[in-house]
Amino acid sequence: MTHSPASEWSSTFLGELIARGVTDFVVSPGSRSQSLALAALEWERASEGLITVHVVIDERSAGFRALGLALETQRPAVCIATSGSAPLHYMPALAEARHAGVPMMVISADRPSELQGVGANQTTDQRALFGGIARTWNVEAPGGEAAPDLGPLAQEMLSEALAGAPVHLNVAFREPLSGTLATPVVMPPVVPLHFEARDGVSVELEPQPGTLVIAGHGATAKAEELAVSLGAALIAEVASGARFGPHLVLSYRDVLEGPLPTPIKRVIAIGRPTLSRAVWSVLSDSAIERISIPMRGLEASNPTRDAHVVGDIVASRPATAGEKEEWVKPWVMAGRSAQQGALDCLLPPPPDLEAAVSDDPATRNAFATAEMSVMRRRVTRWEMALALWEATWPHDRLVLGASRMIREADTIVGSKNIPVFANRGLSGIDGTISTARGIAHAASASGASGITRV
């Protein structure tokens, strides 16, 4: 039997995370991190299905797998990597998580102090690998004494992660890098993780004509609820979580870029809208009263830096039917008209049925040629977006590429309350498939029905 302080420490710390609601570990195998990987597997065996260890060889893919798991579950999936360059490959996913307010945790194994600065293999300074992207805790190599109380460390890191700030634990290990645990692991009582909103000013607003609610990335259904209670028109990006309801303005770019249905006097931005220059222009208009509600971990949408940033808004009273008729209806009707115009542009010209039965062979040939041309025409991105949208139901998940495709969908698709995901924190084109795999696995593990489409 080999006693290893590394194994005792790893098992104890992961147990503290599990007791606080962590259920997923994404492991990229390596020598220095073996105690962490083996501890995760021991906890998985003891959990009877509560804990899942995902083995992903490539750390870059592993980071985005963890990001997808967190997007679906709203709790951090813990990435585990060995020393050297391995944890650096988490940077793209960590940066996305940092700017999208997604909870994420990384644990990197490190070489002990006696191997630092002496030319040892696979050794670099890991104490601040991720700069301002992730807050880092550094732990010296555990010794032979009993593992300290690691509960406060686990709680502090999880609290930070749940607030939308990625966290990094760098822990040094000496040999033996793994060994037999003194006592078998036993599942502790588990307290489900939950997000506690940080302090923010809550303001009460009176419903008034001229109010526009703009739902961006991370807004959630809260934006739709606020628009209804305030009697406001609603502009909702496709991945906002609020693209539904009777106040929704479709084809909002065309509406904002044309003559406005009625003047905008007050705009409320929820989350982080990033898909449209027309929206950015409205948020930059100093003649309009501007209020911003940043959601978990997100920067306030405040291009002029003088918007009123608040934590929440409640309506002083429900908007009346008359107020909604006066302000919301013109915007909704303008949006429907604009969208119908866009849809009409997608339709091929109607077939000339008289030409199909003409006595003139040339006319019939022209009809056949025209019909073949319609059948052979290229499928547009709008058509792909519409097909995906029509095929996706509220119990499904839809993952969109964060650059071109999400803009195409945002322009053309209609109203439907479905979960839409996209890595719009930094809008990178990498990691989409791995993110989708994480979302799909988490949805399946929870027993949810439906399909994850990419």
Start and end residues for every CATH 3.40.50.970 domain found in the chain: 5-172, 379-454
Residue type for position 139:
V
Q: Is the pLDDT of residue 29 over 70?
A: yes
DSSP category for residue 316: S
Q: What is the mean pLDDT of residues 245-260?
A: 96
Residue 123: the pLDDT is 82
Specify the higher pLDDT residue, 348 or 224. Answer: 224
Cis check for the bond before 273: say yes or no (omega within 30 of 0). no
Give the tokens for residue 171.
Answer: 């822990």
Cis check for the bond before 176: say yes or no (omega within 30 of 0). yes
Residue 3: the pLDDT is 81
DSSP category for residue 189: P
Query: Confidence band (pLDDT; 50, 70, 90) for 195?
Result: low
Residue 275: the pLDDT is 96
Judge: domain 202-340, CATH 3.40.50.1220: yes
Cβ atoms 231, 328 nearer than 8 A = yes
Q: What is the mean pLDDT of residues 308-313?
A: 94
Q: What is the mean pLDDT of residues 149-173?
A: 95
Q: What is the mean pLDDT of residues 201-207?
A: 91
Residue 196: the pLDDT is 59
Residue 22: the pLDDT is 97
Residue tagged 């030409």 (tokens): 355
Which 3 state secondary structure label does DSSP give 170?
A: strand
Helix (H) or strand (E) holding 399: strand 397-399
Q: Is the pLDDT of residue 316 over 70?
A: yes
The terminus-to-terminus CA distance of the chain in angstroms comes to: 49
Q: Is the pLDDT of residue 270 over 80?
A: yes
C-alpha to C-alpha distance for 209 and 202, rounded to whole angstroms: 21
Q: Is 40 left (phi over 0), alpha (psi -120 to 50) or beta?
A: alpha
Angle between helices 404-412 and 381-391 (to 10 degrees): 70
Q: Is the pLDDT of residue 320 over 80?
A: yes
Residue 8: the pLDDT is 93
Q: Is the pLDDT of residue 199 over 70?
A: no
Residue 197: the pLDDT is 58
Q: How many CA atoms lie within 13 A of 281 on its CB side?
A: 8
Residue 215: the pLDDT is 98
Which 3 state secondary structure label does DSSP give 293?
A: strand
Region 5-172: CATH code: 3.40.50.970
Short-list 84, 77, 22, 88, CA closest to 55: 77
**pTM of the full structure:** 0.91
Q: Estimate to the nearest angstrom the gap between the alpha carbon of 12 and the chain centroid.
A: 30
Start and end residues for every CATH 3.40.50.1220 domain found in the chain: 202-340
Residue 198: the pLDDT is 52
Cβ atoms 21, 191 nearer than 8 A = yes
Query: Confidence band (pLDDT; 50, 70, 90) for 393?
Result: very high
CA angle 249, 254, 255 (to 5 degrees): 50
Residue tagged 């604009």 (tokens): 338
For residue range 89-133, what is the model confidence (pLDDT) as tens digits? 999 999 999 999 999 999 999 998 787 788 888 888 889 999 999
Q: Is the pLDDT of residue 1 over 70?
A: no
Query: Confidence band (pLDDT; 50, 70, 90) for 180?
Result: confident
Residue 376: the pLDDT is 83
As a residue count, the chain comes to 454
Q: Where are the beta strands (DSSP E) in 193-345?
A: 202-205, 211-215, 233-236, 266-270, 289-293, 308-309, 312-315
Instruction: Output the average pLDDT for the chain.
Output: 92
Q: What is the mean pLDDT of residues 33-42?
A: 96
Residue 425: the pLDDT is 94
Q: Which CATH class is domain 379-454?
A: alpha beta
Cβ atoms 269, 214 nearer than 8 A = yes
Specify the higher pLDDT residue, 348 or 305. Answer: 305
Q: Is the pLDDT of residue 216 over 80?
A: yes
